[in-house]
Structure 1
Amino acid sequence: MKRLEEMSLEELWALFPIVLKEHSSNYVKWYEEEKQRLTDLFADFEIQRISHIGSTSVEGLIAKPIVDILLEFPEGYDVEGAATLLQNAGWISMIKDKERQRLDLNKGYTPEGFAEKVYHLHVRALGDWDELYFRDYLREYPEVARRYEELKLSLKKTYEHDRDAYTDAKSTFVQTYSQKARQAFGPRYLLK
């Protein structure tokens, strides 16, 4: 059996298709469990904020059963040190961009397919991130969340085995409502 890092993008997309499920109350519990693990793992780092983002953070919203977490450290944090700690704790690195102080990792992807609990971790310097605003807007405006859900369901039919195209096809909607959220809520995540 091939290891994940030996698989082509097409093989990975076949093994890990776009799956959309009804919202589960487990998502909050899984987030809290992983938040505690991250807090313990980074006891010697100055964590600024840990947030549950993405569709699993919006109650009632159909979602890929993947818990997205945004972990923020102070500007200039030790990107290499953070990456090493996470990889040693079982996270798989997808993106490491030292210049922009960004890490993207996942957990729960196995050579047999998805594990029961699947996570995406976005590590960044503390900031005013669109993901926080978009989440808040969907929570505040259920009719927009329903439209987002309808969009995702329609895109799944076309892009079930092309995660990048699926994500790209949602981007205009996400950007539009992230900007509306910024207008509606003001600079709630700006650095003080």
Structure 2
Amino acid sequence: MQLAVDYNKGIDIHLHEGGQGGLRAVEYLIEKVLENPVLKDKTYLSHCFVLASLEKTQQEAIAEQLAAAGIGIVSTIPFGRTIMPIPTLYKHGVKVSTGNDSIIDHWNTFGTGSVLQKANLMAQLYGYSSELNLSRALRIATGDILPLDQNGQQQWPKVHDAANVVLLDASCSAEAVARVPGIKSLIHQGRVIY
């Protein structure tokens, strides 16, 4: 913690522990970030499987505390029978993202390494079948960047946004999540690299 404070860096702690030990680690991290506000919005818990084992009221309370401390969760979505409470985290304003440990997904036998596939899996797990809910599921794959806000107003792309774009053959965000089309082109920092 002190190194992050001293050098103005973020923290990513991979927490696999469950039970009281895992819960205490989450509570300790919340406490330390609140004591050191410079770490707010720069601290992440990866995996954090303990959240899946908590009772609903505990999940709500911890999600509220994580949001207040600006601590995000990087989730593998499910892990075996462990289903993360992602809707609860979003409800309380916790930043949630997903990823893979490699170009393939070592956490999931069925994974391809695609974060869009993770958004699709999340939509299936939580019953996000309406067009609106499917479009919202994309946020886990994009770092919370969505083309339209809750009211249908364009929020991305805008002038001066980073020119980092993945082009897919889909008519909208909901179709991209539901159908997981292949990548047609990849633009990074304004350069077509695929």
TM class, shorter-length: under 0.3
Structure number with the bigger relative contact order (C-alpha 8 A, sep ≥ 6) is 1
Q: Which has the higher helix share?
A: 1
